[in-house]
Amino acid sequence: MASSSPSSSSAVKRLSNLSNHLCPTNSNPLVKVSAQVSQALSTGLPVVALESTIISHGMPYPQNLETAKEVEAIVRDNGAVPATIAILDGVPCIGLNLEQLERLARMGKSAQKTARRDIAYVVATKRNGATTVSATMFFAAMVGIPLFVTGGIGGVHRHGEHTMDISSDLTELGRTPVAVVSAGVKSILDIPRTLEYLETQGVCVAAYKTNEFPAFFTKTSGCKVPCRLDIPEECARLIDANRKLNLGNGVLIAVPIAKEYSASGSLIESAIQQALTEAREKNITGNAETPFLLARVNEITGGASLASNIALVKNNAAIGAKISVALAQLLK
């Protein structure tokens, strides 16, 4: 047998760096990958996946559209290609154009909030779905995007020991090899129990430039993290090692909100307690609870929490893009 050429050998080596869990782009006929994202993936350029629930359920139109466009611009400005993910008319779309972004923003809450469990139904019935963390991770892994940026992940709900209300984001992190950059866990949730659950799932939890796990609206939660990373290159090496070892799970990189946007911890906690009481009184549970709680906390705080939410998403996008660039350079 003829020996392989240096170029084919290096190509095989690059492919071997990818986890067995990640499939080639455009490999699934049900999924539509935008031309820009497809080209970036095929040439080894950095790509950052973005969710769409924050567009449909996170804030009203047109603020949601402007925020989505600004977040994508931040990713581009920091050297990566943004890939916002959503299901439109039953077609999972990886990378939305401006027309699709506006359509989703105008839909608002009429788009179905789509976690992993909902994907097949939304596709089969040709509905419109805004992807949560779990669904976005699933599609990112399917097409080979190694990193995803969001505001905050879901987790174990307060009183979850009685209700068993645990976000599918956590189990997705335990079985899907995509790195997630977030401002920690939404502070409306039970952060200590969420971290315990992530440990059970075998998920590496790291904090960026801090030893403490951030609490979404605030920089601190009182919970220490097992790993600290201080520069994008360190984050990239962790993601690369996790994938090369074929551990099969994701990595959570928690980035604290910038100090100037950090809300008062006591103010937020008071608002959360009031919102939780109202949710119980109105019997709001399941996937309707988080949007309700975030909206009520924003109302109670006079809009301060939404401003913080937008600021932290933008900060995460900038840092996530830098990590994606460092990872792409590492894999070359």
Of 284, 249, 294, 250, the residue nearest 152 (C-alpha): 294
Contact 212, 223 (CB under 8 A): yes
Is there a catalytic annotation at residue 172?
no
Q: Which residues pair with 170 in a beta bridge?
A: none
CA quadruple 129, 130, 135, 137: dihedral positive or negative?
Answer: positive
Of 250, 230, 228, the residue nearest 326 (C-alpha): 230
Return d(Cα 85, Cα 141) in angstroms, integer: 12
Strands 251-254 and 204-208: parallel
Q: What is the DSSP code string of 212-255?
A: B--BTTBS--S-B-SEEE-SHHHHHHHHHHHHHTT--S-EEEE-
Of 5, 46, 8, the residue nearest 330 (C-alpha): 46
- Which residues touch 79 (CB under 8 Å, ≥6 apart)? 46, 321, 322, 324, 325
Amino acid identity at 133: V
Return d(Cα 51, Cα 281) in angstroms, integer: 30
CA angle 125-129-131, nearest 5°? 135
Of 316, 305, 49, the residue nearest 184 (C-alpha): 316
- Residue in 51, 72, 102, 289 annotated catalytic: 51
What does DSSP assign to residue 165?
-
Strands 251-254 and 129-131: unpaired
- Residue in 113, 186, 314, 322 annotated catalytic: 186
Is there a catalytic annotation at residue 102?
no
Active-site amino acid positions: 51, 186
